[in-house]
Structure 1
Amino acid sequence: MTENFRLRAAMDQAGYTQAELVEALNKSLTAAGHRGTISDRTVRYWLTGKSGWPQQRQRDALEAIFGCPAVELGFIPPEGTLLRRTFLASTTMAGASLPFTPRSTGRVGTSEVAGLRASLESLTGLDDKRGGHTELERAALAGAADCLNKQDRASSQRIRQRLLSLASDFTATAAWSSVDARQLDRADAQLKEALYLARMANDSATEMRVWNSLAMLAHQRKEHGQAVDAGYAAQATSITRRDRLFASLAHARTAVGHANRGDRQAALRSLGFAEDMMGKVDPEMSRPPWIAFYGPAELYALGAIVRHRLGDAAEAEAVSHRALAVLPQKFRRNRALATARLAIAQLHQGDSEQACDTAARVFDLMADAPLPGRMRSLIGDFYRDLLTLAPDAAVAREWGDQYRDQWSR
């Protein structure tokens, strides 16, 4: 029995208490010509996972209230056809054509696992280009539900384990999309579920991924002590002992947490560990697609964040330039983030005109997509600092007038 974090998150986002949801569901049932028979116990059973698949009329009421299929609320049907239809619908989005497994009523084997993995890789590529957004999150959650539903038809225990691992990775992808979009409550619930699934699957790489995202979520909530704790938890996962790339990321994330707390010595020490591990990475090791974003460029970018938080604007600028010089072109979202941080570093050295020119490049990089929430927040930080540090400069007013609409949409 697994707690239904998705339903809880949907209730929180919509502002429903348990009693209020009961009332709303019964009203929906009555309007559809049914008796309002849902009770507090019914909803409690859904939330605790004791009841995993509501009756049809109850599902209709839930979907009408929350505006999404029941599987996206964490419910898992006894058969896979509904999940497959949902996955197809969810993965039809602008700019993405996601491969996925053909419908099968037989045993699930390596070919279907490979198809699901290809779908996950497509979502990872979409995130690299556009960043976190609702369509990506929904597609990832539907993929996780599809994996879990296929477990009963797995051809072997090994396939069951792979499906569980993929479910954790899909859920972590959805959670990361929520983090990037700054949907903090949804991200929290999804990360808890992803962590549970990763541990069930004995998937250390995804568990480390979840702790990395939890550290970023804690930063967004300004819970910097928890961010450091999450960084240490990432360091403690077994994958960091087998692969120095994961170890480097865990130390770099911890460094950011220390810097946010103002602990200069601890931040630089953790950053040094991250750099040392990066120098010992085996480039030939097989790794999951999500970690592809992390390499020397991202380490430079994280180092720029550490330097900025510690008040070293000149060093932050220099490291940002190094990040942009070696960052692969396919990581468009990360390039835009690094560019925004470069602009902030320039601004804090008194060069407001150069900083405004640099910040304008963010909008050029993301020209055909809305800015993810995390990037909008960073640009907001830039503009607030611009008004604080150069309030009378004409360039500040001009920049605001020119880019306010693009920044806030």
Structure 2
Amino acid sequence: MGDNDVLRRRLADLGLTQDELAGQMNDALEALTGRCGDFSARTVRNLLNGTTRRPIGRTRAALERVFACPLTDLGFAPPSTAAPREDPVLRRTFIAGITAAVATPTNAPTTPRRIGTSDVERLQRKFAEIIASDHRHGGQLGIEQQAAAMSGRALALQETGSASQRVRGQVYASAAAFRSSAMWAAIDGRRFDDAIGHMREAQALAEMSGDPFIKFRIWSHAGTMYRHMGRPADAAAANTVARGLSLTRRDPMFASLGLARHAAIHGAAGDRIAARRCFGQAQDAMNRADPHAQRPVWMNAFYDQAELDSLALSAHLSLGDFARAEFHGHRCLAGLRPHMHRSKAIATARVARAQLEQGDVEPAVATAMSVPADQAALHPRVVGMLRTFGTRLDVIAPNTAPAHTWTQYVRDTRRTPA
């Protein structure tokens, strides 16, 4: 008996925790049988550590649905000729569910299903899980794929029964929200062509939903995407659409985010005066915002003073104002909430660059080496930032002790198994 390394790698590729995989397996079983499963993190641990070497019945069906491949592709032994005994009640439940799903004649009378708020709440819980996974891992293809798949599931729900106009709008908003998370994961992972495709899907779904909050998120993401692509004019145009929505006049927190991202766009375009003016306005708007107002989960999960300082750090780095960038960087790191792993790695890499450009070589190398190893090796944006840091270090302080320390650190990090 030994660890299932294949399954462990597939789990890491999707950016899922053990609890999250168990949740997806429960959803898969519900889709197959109409009844939610009771898989838990313990189930997944047994699959990973080799305690369960040949999953059968509902476990096998759920795994194959989640990963869209046969069990043998997940590192498990092929099913034996005589299947191991399984709880007969569970087996009958599973078979009955499958039979009902695929064997009922299309003309058989059925009771129309009513799509309600409980369905929307389930989608919103899944969306919150994706948001949390993004803050832990960021930019991973698995997060993008999971979010896109959940958008498809939300759309498929529309075809399963009747619903009020309000509930239909909420389901479309959920589909748009999932697709916007797929878009963000692609932006964060530097897969810009894929991000543009997700953006177009998300925009269409948002229009059908009529939800101004998700419209703001999508257009604001579009502005960030174009900024990272080096297209500041398109970035400003997209972000202007977000800032023009009426919710920015109702809630100063949304006005603040729109202004802060516009300031970062001005920084990328080299407009120092406009960037500083926009950051001042963003800070004023944040100070006016009601901290207890109801806002979407995605907004509450990330936008605060630390994120405003993160955008200021990015802008001042682009402008070459390295002392001001470092100031905002330290303030960002001091204020980041514990779950913001991806944001912490990005801010730390940027602070290191700001220190280096001011000639503080030893502190800069120490700061860069403090970026968590998993983010330094796996997150595309962080990998690129640290690569640029190394290039600039070779220019600013070649053949120095800090430069040698950094070179050795990079070699050791690459040799260390993930």
Question: Kindly tell me: are residues 132 and 280 of structure 1, through their superposed partners in 2, closer, same or farther at Cα, counting changes over 3 Å?
Answer: same
Cα distance 1:214–1:282, how it changes in 2: closer, same or farther (>3 A)? same
Q: 1:272 deviation in Å?
A: 1.1
Distance 2:163 2:312 in 1: 46
Q: Could you tell me how far apart the structure 1 residues matched to 2:309 and 2:338 are?
A: 16
What is the identity, as a one-letter code, of the residue corresponding to 1:396?
A
Deviation at 1:404, TM superposition (A): 5.0
In terms of Rg, which structure is larger?
2
Q: TM-score, normalised by structure 1?
A: 0.73
Q: Residue in 2 aligned with 1:383?
A: 390
Q: Distance in 1 between matches of 2:208 and 2:414?
A: 41
- Correspondence for 2:47: none
Counterpart of 1:112, as a letter, is D
Residue 320 of structure 2 corresponds to which residue in structure 1? 311
% identical equivalent positions: 36
Residue 43 (structure 2) pairs with residue 120 (structure 1): no
Shift of 1:154: 3.8
Distance between the aligned counterparts of 1:131 and 1:370, measured in 2? 12
Equivalent position amino acid for 2:321 in 1: D
Structure 1 residues 95 and 342, CA gap change in structure 2 (3 angstroms) = farther
Q: TM-score scaled by structure 2?
A: 0.72
Q: Which residue of 2 aligns with 1:284?
A: 292
Query: Number of matched residues?
Result: 319
Q: Which residue of 2 aligns with 1:297?
A: 306
Q: Which amino acid aligns with 2:20?
A: S
- Equivalent position of 1:156 in the other structure: 164
* Residues 244, 280 of structure 1: 8 Å contact kept: yes
Partner of 1:57: none
Match of 1:337 among 343, 346, 362: 346
**Counterpart code for 2:121:** A
On the 8 A contact 1:231/1:257 being kept in 2, the answer is: no
**Does the 8 A contact of 1:363 with 1:406 survive in 2?**
no
Q: Cα deviation per residue 1:219-276 (whole Å; 9 max; x = unaligned)?
A: 2221121112222222112221222111111111111111111111111111111111
Q: Is 1:376–1:407's contact at 8 Å kept on the other side of the alignment? A: no
SS in 2 for 1:303: helix
Q: Select the residue among 372, 375, 388 that pairs with 2:379.
A: 372
RMSD of aligned residue pairs (Cα, Å): 2.3
Of 247, 250, 258, which residue of structure 1 is paired with 2:255? 247
Displacement after TM superposition at 1:106 (Å): 2.8
C-alpha distance in 1, partners of 2:280/2:136? 30
Q: Supply the distance in 2 between the matched residues of 1:242 and 1:211 (Cα, whole angstroms).
A: 18
Q: Which residue of 2 aligns with 1:212?
A: 220
Contiguous gaps of at least 5 residues in structure 1? 1-89
> Structure 2, unaligned stretches of length 5 or more?
1-12, 35-111
Of 367, 384, 399, the residue aligned with 1:392 is: 399
1:403 aligns with one of 406, 410, 413: 410
Counterpart position of 2:200: 192
Contact 2:14 2:140 in 1 (8 A): no
- Cα distance in structure 1, aligned partners of 2:243 and 2:230: 21
**Partner of 1:147 in structure 2?**
154
Query: Which residue identity lines up with residue 167 of structure 1 in the other structure?
Result: A
Cα deviation, residue 363, structure 1: 2.5
Are the counterparts in 2 of residues 379 and 407 from structure 1 also a CA contact under 8 Å? Answer: no
